[in-house]
């Protein structure tokens, strides 16, 4: 009796793990999109806030922050590229059956 129960339990566990893995794979691009959107939105808000701190110097105050935004954009592009490469590698991995000449 216990082996039948364990067999059913293992089927349910493996099915649930498979469903979670599929959901994880499908939400990776969504996660990357939200990360990129959040960083761009935060940078634009910071630039807008800095330009409104002193209305007379609205064009001068955010200039250093433009350079910081360029750096943030470069880092975001690097992170986006690396995460895309890692996610692609994870999807495309395959196990080798064995080496030739080795029994």
Residues belonging to the active site: 31, 35, 39
State how far the Cα of 68 lies from the Cα of 52, in Å rounded to an integer: 18
Cβ contacts of 69 within 8 Å, gap of 6 or more: 43, 46, 47
């Amino acid at each position: 009796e216990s082996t039948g129960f364990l067999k059913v339990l293992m089927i349910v566990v493996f099915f649930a793990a498979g469903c979670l893995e599929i959901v994880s794979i499908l939400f990776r691009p969504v996660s990357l999109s939200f990360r990129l959107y959040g960083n761009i939105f935060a940078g634009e808000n910071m630039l807008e806030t800095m330009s409104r701190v002193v209305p007379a110097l609205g064009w001068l105050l955010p200039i250093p922050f433009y350079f910081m935004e360029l750096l943030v954009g470069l880092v975001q592009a690097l992170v986006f590229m690396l995460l895309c490469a890692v996610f692609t590698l994870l999807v495309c991995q395959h196990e080798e059956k064995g080496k030739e000449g080795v029994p």
